[in-house]
Amino acid sequence: MKEQVTILSIDDDPQICFALGELFKFQGWRAISANDVESGLEAFRRYSPGIVLIDYHMPGASGIEGVKLLRKRSSSVPIIVFTIDESQVVADTFLAAGASDFALKPIKAPDIVSRIKLHLRLAEQNRSEPSFSKGISGGTLDIIMNFLSAQGDYVTANEIAKGTGLAYQTVYRYLQHLVQDKKVERLDVYGKVGRPKQVFRKL
């Protein structure tokens, strides 16, 4: 019999924790919640969850600090951050701290369920894979590279995000990693007005 997945939600809003708990139980997952980083770390130690969801804005220790502390306890557990901030600077800060992905508030049930299933699958794959740079998962790299291989032409980060189910911020960070490794080409496309649009293609 397959082991039941335990999901830890860390959010200071009890209504969100309750709603997530009901959603996860419906999926057959075990739901654990905590209303701040300190109690979340204790729950993490006690229950050893298969995935962690954590809010960005919380009283006391912030979500960023929470991600860093969780990463000290586990280098592999997927961590998804809830945020209302779509800023790339915020995204890069969380990903550098060790977050795996993002989900924008207000939370949509189909979106968060699909993200959790995706990262549980990636975590299973990564157990047998070599380690990569901090915050970089071999399984996620494969998903993005496979998508690029299937396109055969330049695509935007947003198109990759929609096609793979990954968050835009996650895709953008991985694309920068792949460009640096010279596995992906980046091209700036200039329109009549505004900033150039970045498009990407597998080399």
pLDDT: which is higher, 89 or 126: 89
For 158, the token pair is: 């947003």
Mean pLDDT of 114-142: 74
Q: What's the chain's average pLDDT?
A: 86
Q: What is the C-alpha to C-alpha distance for residues 143 and 70, in angstroms, rounded to an integer? A: 25
Percent of the chain having pLDDT more than 70? 93
The pLDDT, as a whole number, for residue 103 is: 85
Query: What confidence category does residue 166 fall into, taking pLDDT thresholds of 50, 70 and 90?
Result: confident
Q: What is the C-alpha to C-alpha distance for residues 108 and 89, in angstroms, rounded to an integer? A: 23
Give alpha helix (H) positions in 27-108.
Answer: 37-47, 63-73, 88-97
All domains of the chain in start order, with CATH: 1-128 (3.40.50.2300), 131-203 (1.10.10.10)
Mean pLDDT of 101-121: 89
The pLDDT, as a whole number, for residue 133 is: 58
Q: What is the C-alpha to C-alpha distance for residues 52 and 63, in angstroms, rounded to an integer? A: 12
The pLDDT, as a whole number, for residue 135 is: 63
The pLDDT, as a whole number, for residue 40 is: 95
The CA–CA distances, whole Å, from 122 to 14, 32, 140, 141 equal 29, 21, 7, 10
The pLDDT, as a whole number, for residue 100 is: 87
pLDDT of 194 strictly over 70:
no
Model pTM?
0.67
Query: How many CB atoms neighbour CB 27 within 10 A?
Result: 13
The three-state (H, E, C) secondary structure of 101-169, written as one string: EEEECCCCHHHHHHHHHHHHHHHHHHCCCCCCCCCCCHHHHHHHHHHHHHHCCCECHHHHHHHHCCCHH
**pLDDT digits over 33-86, tens only?**
999 999 999 999 999 999 999 999 888 888 999 999 998 888 788 999 998 887
pLDDT of 19 strictly over 70:
yes
Strands 30-34 and 6-10: parallel
The pLDDT, as a whole number, for residue 16 is: 93
